[in-house]
Amino acid sequence: MARMRLDKLLSALAVCSRSGVAALLRAGRVRVDGAAAKDAGMAVDPDVQIVTLDDQTLEWKAQRTVMLNKPCGVLTAARDPKQPTVLDLLPPLYRAMNCMPAGRLDKDTEGLLILTTDGQLAHRLISPKREVGKLYEAEVDGPLCADDVAAFAGGLSIRDADGAFQAKPAELTILSCGEAESTARVRVTEGKYHQVRRMFAARGRMVTALRRLAIGSLYLDESLQPGQWRELSPQEIRLLEQAPAEPEARRESPAEK
Ligand code: URA
Protein backbone atom coordinates (compact mmCIF):
# COMPACT_ATOMS: atom_id res chain seq x y z
CA MET A 1 0.00 0.00 0.00
CA ALA A 2 1.31 3.41 -0.90
CA ARG A 3 1.52 6.16 1.68
CA MET A 4 -1.66 8.15 2.09
CA ARG A 5 -2.84 11.23 3.96
CA LEU A 6 -3.86 10.57 7.55
CA ASP A 7 -7.27 12.25 7.10
CA LYS A 8 -7.94 10.10 4.03
CA LEU A 9 -7.01 6.95 5.92
CA LEU A 10 -9.24 7.83 8.88
CA SER A 11 -12.21 8.56 6.65
CA ALA A 12 -11.59 5.37 4.60
CA LEU A 13 -11.73 3.47 7.90
CA ALA A 14 -15.01 5.29 8.62
CA VAL A 15 -13.56 6.67 11.86
CA CYS A 16 -14.91 10.09 10.94
CA SER A 17 -15.33 12.38 7.96
CA ARG A 18 -12.20 14.06 6.59
CA SER A 19 -13.40 17.35 8.08
CA GLY A 20 -13.88 15.69 11.51
CA VAL A 21 -10.23 14.64 11.71
CA ALA A 22 -9.02 18.05 12.99
CA ALA A 23 -11.04 17.69 16.22
CA LEU A 24 -9.62 14.21 16.88
CA LEU A 25 -6.08 15.47 16.30
CA ARG A 26 -6.59 18.53 18.53
CA ALA A 27 -7.76 16.20 21.32
CA GLY A 28 -4.62 14.09 20.85
CA ARG A 29 -6.71 10.96 20.24
CA VAL A 30 -4.85 9.75 17.14
CA ARG A 31 -1.31 8.39 17.36
CA VAL A 32 1.03 7.23 14.61
CA ASP A 33 3.72 4.84 15.83
CA GLY A 34 3.05 6.04 19.37
CA ALA A 35 3.37 9.79 18.74
CA ALA A 36 0.31 12.05 18.84
CA ALA A 37 -0.49 13.10 15.28
CA LYS A 38 -0.88 16.83 14.71
CA ASP A 39 -1.14 17.17 10.95
CA ALA A 40 -4.19 15.80 9.07
CA GLY A 41 -2.14 15.86 5.88
CA MET A 42 0.77 13.80 7.19
CA ALA A 43 1.67 10.85 4.97
CA VAL A 44 1.28 7.42 6.59
CA ASP A 45 1.84 3.93 5.29
CA PRO A 46 -0.92 1.86 6.93
CA ASP A 47 0.81 -1.43 6.01
CA VAL A 48 3.87 -0.48 8.02
CA GLN A 49 2.91 2.15 10.59
CA ILE A 50 0.63 1.61 13.57
CA VAL A 51 -2.22 4.10 13.74
CA THR A 52 -4.31 4.17 16.92
CA LEU A 53 -7.47 5.97 17.98
CA ASP A 54 -7.88 6.19 21.76
CA ASP A 55 -5.15 3.52 22.03
CA GLN A 56 -7.11 1.07 19.80
CA THR A 57 -5.14 -0.03 16.75
CA LEU A 58 -6.99 0.71 13.52
CA GLU A 59 -6.75 -2.31 11.30
CA TRP A 60 -6.14 -1.37 7.70
CA LYS A 61 -6.73 -3.83 4.87
CA ALA A 62 -6.36 -2.76 1.27
CA GLN A 63 -9.17 -5.15 0.27
CA ARG A 64 -12.11 -6.47 2.23
CA THR A 65 -14.31 -9.42 1.30
CA VAL A 66 -17.35 -10.35 3.32
CA MET A 67 -19.71 -13.32 3.49
CA LEU A 68 -23.26 -12.22 4.34
CA ASN A 69 -26.20 -14.45 5.13
CA LYS A 70 -28.63 -12.24 3.25
CA PRO A 71 -32.06 -12.15 4.86
CA CYS A 72 -35.32 -12.02 2.89
CA GLY A 73 -36.72 -8.52 2.38
CA VAL A 74 -33.39 -6.78 1.72
CA LEU A 75 -32.29 -5.55 -1.71
CA THR A 76 -28.99 -6.63 -3.27
CA ALA A 77 -27.84 -3.09 -4.03
CA ALA A 78 -25.47 -0.53 -2.58
CA ARG A 79 -28.20 2.02 -1.82
CA ASP A 80 -31.89 2.55 -2.31
CA PRO A 81 -33.94 5.62 -1.37
CA LYS A 82 -36.81 3.58 0.10
CA GLN A 83 -35.79 0.03 0.96
CA PRO A 84 -33.04 -1.50 3.09
CA THR A 85 -30.05 -2.83 1.15
CA VAL A 86 -27.34 -5.36 1.94
CA LEU A 87 -24.83 -2.51 2.49
CA ASP A 88 -27.07 -1.23 5.32
CA LEU A 89 -26.30 -4.49 7.17
CA LEU A 90 -22.54 -3.76 7.28
CA PRO A 91 -20.66 -1.13 9.32
CA PRO A 92 -20.06 2.21 7.47
CA LEU A 93 -16.43 1.25 6.77
CA TYR A 94 -17.55 -1.11 4.00
CA ARG A 95 -19.58 1.51 2.18
CA ALA A 96 -16.71 3.98 2.59
CA MET A 97 -14.38 1.43 0.98
CA ASN A 98 -16.80 0.88 -1.90
CA CYS A 99 -17.54 -2.72 -1.01
CA MET A 100 -20.05 -4.06 -3.56
CA PRO A 101 -22.17 -7.19 -3.89
CA ALA A 102 -20.55 -9.74 -6.24
CA GLY A 103 -23.70 -10.97 -7.93
CA ARG A 104 -27.31 -10.68 -6.95
CA LEU A 105 -29.95 -12.45 -4.91
CA ASP A 106 -33.63 -11.57 -5.28
CA LYS A 107 -35.23 -9.58 -2.49
CA ASP A 108 -37.04 -12.74 -1.35
CA THR A 109 -33.98 -15.00 -1.54
CA GLU A 110 -31.90 -15.74 1.53
CA GLY A 111 -28.34 -17.03 1.89
CA LEU A 112 -24.77 -16.63 0.77
CA LEU A 113 -23.84 -13.28 -0.74
CA ILE A 114 -20.26 -12.12 -1.21
CA LEU A 115 -19.48 -8.42 -0.97
CA THR A 116 -16.02 -7.25 -1.88
CA THR A 117 -13.85 -4.23 -2.58
CA ASP A 118 -11.83 -6.40 -4.99
CA GLY A 119 -13.14 -5.75 -8.50
CA GLN A 120 -11.13 -8.61 -10.01
CA LEU A 121 -12.55 -11.11 -7.56
CA ALA A 122 -16.09 -9.84 -8.17
CA HIS A 123 -15.59 -10.18 -11.92
CA ARG A 124 -14.28 -13.72 -11.47
CA LEU A 125 -17.42 -14.70 -9.56
CA ILE A 126 -19.99 -13.12 -11.84
CA SER A 127 -18.50 -13.41 -15.31
CA PRO A 128 -20.86 -15.69 -17.30
CA LYS A 129 -17.83 -17.08 -19.16
CA ARG A 130 -16.43 -18.65 -16.00
CA GLU A 131 -19.58 -20.60 -15.17
CA VAL A 132 -18.97 -20.56 -11.43
CA GLY A 133 -21.38 -23.06 -9.81
CA LYS A 134 -24.00 -21.78 -7.37
CA LEU A 135 -25.87 -24.14 -5.09
CA TYR A 136 -29.42 -23.35 -3.91
CA GLU A 137 -31.96 -25.04 -1.69
CA ALA A 138 -35.54 -24.54 -2.81
CA GLU A 139 -38.96 -25.31 -1.39
CA VAL A 140 -41.63 -25.75 -4.05
CA ASP A 141 -45.39 -26.07 -3.98
CA GLY A 142 -45.87 -29.67 -5.16
CA PRO A 143 -44.19 -32.98 -5.96
CA LEU A 144 -40.90 -33.37 -7.88
CA CYS A 145 -39.94 -36.51 -9.76
CA ALA A 146 -37.21 -38.17 -11.83
CA ASP A 147 -38.54 -36.42 -14.97
CA ASP A 148 -37.74 -33.07 -13.31
CA VAL A 149 -34.19 -34.22 -12.54
CA ALA A 150 -33.75 -35.26 -16.19
CA ALA A 151 -35.27 -32.00 -17.50
CA PHE A 152 -32.90 -29.87 -15.37
CA ALA A 153 -29.95 -32.01 -16.49
CA GLY A 154 -30.92 -31.68 -20.15
CA GLY A 155 -31.14 -27.85 -20.04
CA LEU A 156 -34.59 -26.31 -19.69
CA SER A 157 -36.14 -24.09 -22.35
CA ILE A 158 -37.47 -21.07 -20.51
CA ARG A 159 -40.18 -18.97 -22.11
CA ASP A 160 -42.13 -16.68 -19.81
CA ALA A 161 -43.20 -13.07 -19.24
CA ASP A 162 -39.55 -12.08 -18.58
CA GLY A 163 -38.32 -13.46 -21.93
CA ALA A 164 -36.85 -16.67 -23.29
CA PHE A 165 -33.55 -18.50 -22.88
CA GLN A 166 -32.07 -21.95 -23.06
CA ALA A 167 -30.80 -22.81 -19.58
CA LYS A 168 -27.49 -24.64 -19.24
CA PRO A 169 -27.68 -28.16 -17.76
CA ALA A 170 -28.28 -28.01 -14.00
CA GLU A 171 -28.13 -30.61 -11.26
CA LEU A 172 -31.38 -31.16 -9.34
CA THR A 173 -31.29 -33.31 -6.20
CA ILE A 174 -34.66 -34.02 -4.57
CA LEU A 175 -34.41 -33.92 -0.78
CA SER A 176 -38.06 -34.53 0.09
CA CYS A 177 -41.16 -35.01 -1.99
CA GLY A 178 -44.80 -34.44 -1.00
CA GLU A 179 -48.09 -33.69 -2.76
CA ALA A 180 -48.20 -30.15 -1.32
CA GLU A 181 -44.51 -29.35 -0.87
CA SER A 182 -41.07 -30.64 -1.85
CA THR A 183 -37.50 -29.54 -1.18
CA ALA A 184 -34.53 -29.85 -3.52
CA ARG A 185 -31.01 -28.65 -4.13
CA VAL A 186 -30.13 -27.13 -7.47
CA ARG A 187 -26.64 -26.40 -8.79
CA VAL A 188 -26.57 -23.90 -11.67
CA THR A 189 -23.64 -22.39 -13.54
CA GLU A 190 -25.32 -19.21 -14.73
CA GLY A 191 -27.23 -16.37 -13.13
CA LYS A 192 -30.03 -15.17 -15.35
CA TYR A 193 -32.78 -12.98 -13.84
CA HIS A 194 -34.86 -15.13 -11.42
CA GLN A 195 -33.05 -18.16 -12.85
CA VAL A 196 -33.97 -20.83 -10.32
CA ARG A 197 -37.56 -19.66 -9.84
CA ARG A 198 -38.06 -19.65 -13.62
CA MET A 199 -36.52 -23.11 -14.02
CA PHE A 200 -38.99 -24.56 -11.53
CA ALA A 201 -41.84 -22.58 -13.10
CA ALA A 202 -40.96 -24.20 -16.44
CA ARG A 203 -41.69 -27.53 -14.69
CA GLY A 204 -44.98 -26.24 -13.28
CA ARG A 205 -43.70 -25.62 -9.74
CA MET A 206 -43.65 -22.38 -7.80
CA VAL A 207 -40.69 -21.71 -5.51
CA THR A 208 -41.99 -20.79 -2.05
CA ALA A 209 -38.57 -20.34 -0.40
CA LEU A 210 -35.06 -20.06 -1.86
CA ARG A 211 -31.70 -20.04 -0.12
CA ARG A 212 -28.18 -19.96 -1.61
CA LEU A 213 -25.83 -22.38 0.10
CA ALA A 214 -22.59 -22.11 -1.88
CA ILE A 215 -20.67 -20.23 -4.57
CA GLY A 216 -18.02 -22.40 -6.24
CA SER A 217 -16.60 -24.44 -3.36
CA LEU A 218 -17.28 -21.80 -0.71
CA TYR A 219 -20.23 -22.72 1.54
CA LEU A 220 -22.25 -20.37 3.72
CA ASP A 221 -21.03 -20.47 7.32
CA GLU A 222 -23.99 -22.13 9.02
CA SER A 223 -23.31 -20.23 12.24
CA LEU A 224 -24.33 -16.97 10.52
CA GLN A 225 -28.01 -16.18 11.11
CA PRO A 226 -29.86 -14.22 8.39
CA GLY A 227 -28.51 -10.66 8.52
CA GLN A 228 -25.16 -11.69 10.04
CA TRP A 229 -21.85 -11.45 8.23
CA ARG A 230 -18.12 -11.94 8.66
CA GLU A 231 -14.96 -11.30 6.67
CA LEU A 232 -13.58 -14.21 4.68
CA SER A 233 -10.34 -15.84 5.79
CA PRO A 234 -7.40 -15.81 3.33
CA GLN A 235 -8.04 -19.54 2.68
CA GLU A 236 -11.68 -18.84 1.80
CA ILE A 237 -10.64 -16.03 -0.54
CA ARG A 238 -8.26 -18.48 -2.23
CA LEU A 239 -11.17 -20.91 -2.70
CA LEU A 240 -13.08 -18.18 -4.53
CA GLU A 241 -10.03 -17.21 -6.56
CA GLN A 242 -9.81 -20.81 -7.75
CA ALA A 243 -13.10 -20.32 -9.59
CA PRO A 244 -12.48 -21.51 -13.17
CA ALA A 245 -10.61 -19.15 -15.49
CA GLU A 246 -12.35 -17.74 -18.55
CA PRO A 247 -11.87 -19.99 -21.60
CA GLU A 248 -9.65 -17.44 -23.42
CA ALA A 249 -7.53 -16.87 -20.31
CA ARG A 250 -7.10 -20.62 -19.96
CA ARG A 251 -5.88 -20.90 -23.57
CA GLU A 252 -3.48 -17.99 -23.17
CA SER A 253 -2.03 -18.95 -19.78
CA PRO A 254 1.80 -19.35 -20.09
CA ALA A 255 1.64 -22.74 -18.36
CA GLU A 256 -0.39 -24.12 -21.24
CA LYS A 257 1.60 -22.59 -24.10
N1 URA B 1 -32.40 -17.70 -8.82
C2 URA B 1 -33.51 -17.01 -8.46
O3 URA B 1 -34.58 -17.24 -8.99
N4 URA B 1 -33.37 -16.05 -7.53
C5 URA B 1 -32.22 -15.77 -6.88
O6 URA B 1 -32.18 -14.90 -6.02
C7 URA B 1 -31.09 -16.51 -7.27
C8 URA B 1 -31.20 -17.46 -8.24
The atom of ligand 1 lying closest to the CA of 207 is 3
Q: How far apart are CA 51 and CA 49, in angstroms?
A: 6
Query: In CATH, which superfamily holds the domain spanning 4-57?
Result: RNA-binding S4 domain (3.10.290.10)
**Ligand 1 lined by 45 (C-beta under 6 Å):** no
Report CA(105)–ligand 1 centroid distance (Å). 6
Q: How far apart are CA 200 and CA 130, in angstroms?
A: 24
Instruction: Provide the 3-class DSSP secondary structure of residue 163.
Output: strand
Question: Is 118 a catalytic site residue?
Answer: no
b/e map of 108-144 (b: 16 or more CB within 10 Å)?
A: ebbbbbbbbbbeebbebbbeeebbbbbbbbbbbeeeb
Q: How far apart are CA 173 and CA 238, in angstroms?
A: 28
Q: What is the pLDDT of residue 198?
A: 98
Atom 4 of ligand 1, residue of closest alpha carbon: 194
pLDDT at 254 exceeding the cut of 70:
no
Q: What is the pLDDT of residue 246?
A: 61
Task: Spell out the domain ranges in the chain.
Answer: 4-57, 65-256
Q: What is the pLDDT of residue 114?
A: 98
How confident is the model over 201-241, as pLDDT tens digits? 999 999 999 999 999 999 999 999 999 999 999 999 999 98
Query: In CATH, which superfamily holds the domain spanning 65-256?
Result: Pseudouridine synthase (3.30.2350.10)
**Ligand 1 lined by 76 (C-beta under 6 Å):** no
How confident is the model over 64-119, as pLDDT tens digits? 999 999 999 999 999 999 999 999 999 888 988 899 999 999 999 999 999 999 99
